[in-house]
Amino acid sequence: MAVEPSESIALTLGPLAFNWSPTAWRDFYFRIADEAPVADVYVGEVVCSKRSIFTEKLYPPVVNRLATAGKRVIRSTLATVFLPGDRAIVAQLCSNPGELVEANDVAALFHLRGRRHHIGPFLNVYNERTLEVLVRQGADNVCLPAEIPADVIRRICTAARASGATVEVQSFGRMSLAVSGRCYHARAHGKTRDGCQFVCDREPDGLLLETRDDVPFLVVNGNQVLSFTWLNLLGAIGDLRRAGVTRLRLAPHSCDMVQVARIFRRVADEDMSGDEGIVRLRAVAPDATFANGFLAGRPGHSWVG
């Protein structure tokens, strides 16, 4: 049955991609549970399987706290799977049929086929045909990669409605540009991936890279490359809703994510203008350089007013 565009738009919180201390990780999700106006929370290590040892024991209390607060919890899988241990982690995560899982690598699709699941932004859904294939295999929600322009989003949303699926779009935070089997973060600190000593915990929002002219360029997070600019689609919420997008994803950072969610909720509810929301968002994340170029078909690092 086709799904008609909804007047309301849900806010979701993507998985925390950075290597925070276990206490900071737990307290972050506890506060999200108690205070943030988000409907769904994605929880899971998506960047480096080695990091999962620090938070593994904290998942039950975090998931319980979020669920008790009325949030739906979706478990996110790794975005790169290339070691036997990685495959085992993904297989175990997907083994519980009662748990809703977001697949970020095709290895997870093998275990989730025929079962309801979500598709994460690391799987490249760039056209209607790809979406239709994934929906037939059990996907009922797709989070599109950040680089897709508005006209393509509209076409994919049309196909999603006809297939009975929903479309999610990242609307805040640094954009993931690439993932690799090599750890850039360890190399930058003169270490190897196997002997990294978890140096990625030194930068809560990633390690800044600059050009030879000292111009901020990219950000490294373990084996992930992120944009230096922070995606901000506050001013486009109305257009995204009309296109058929029903879910806006916020990527966690060390700024006050509860306030970020509250600002997005008020703009989505037309309780605040997009312009006012952007001003308030700049106050919450004063060090962030915002960008929305991809949506307009421009270079992703640019800002289209």
Range of the domain at 254: 10-174+229-287
215 falls within a domain? no
How far apart are alpha carbons 133 and 86 in whole angstroms?
Answer: 25
211 falls within a domain? no
The listed range with the strongest mean pLDDT (4-8, 56-60, 169-173) is 169-173
How far apart are alpha carbons 40 and 74 in whole angstroms?
Answer: 7
197 falls within a domain? no
**What is the per-residue burial (b if ≥16 Cβ within 10 Å, else e) of 255-288?**
bbbbbbbbbbbbbbeeebebeebbebbeebbeeb
Number of separate domains in the chain:
1
Could you report the per-residue pLDDT of 97-128, keeping only the tens digit for each?
Answer: 889 999 999 999 999 999 999 999 999 999 99
210 falls within a domain? no
Could you report the per-residue pLDDT of 27-47, keeping only the tens digit for each?
Answer: 999 999 999 999 999 999 999
Residue with tokens 């007013």: 305
For residue 142, give the nearest of 173, 159, 111, 120 by alpha carbon.
120
305 falls within a domain? no
182 falls within a domain? no
Residue 31: CB atoms within 10 Å: 14
> According to the model, what pLDDT value does residue 1 have?
32
**CATH number where 49 lies:** 3.20.20.60
pTM for this predicted structure: 0.94
How far apart are alpha carbons 129 and 133 in whole angstroms?
Answer: 6
Per the DSSP assignment, residues forming a β-bridge with 119 are 103, 142
> According to the model, what pLDDT value does residue 53 have?
87
Query: Does the pLDDT of residue 194 top 80, yes or no?
Result: no
222 falls within a domain? no
- Which range (105-114, 160-169, 177-186) has the least confidence? 177-186
> According to the model, what pLDDT value does residue 7 have?
57
199 falls within a domain? no
Taken as a whole, the chain contains a residue count of 305
For residue 231, give the nearest of 206, 248, 207 by alpha carbon.
248
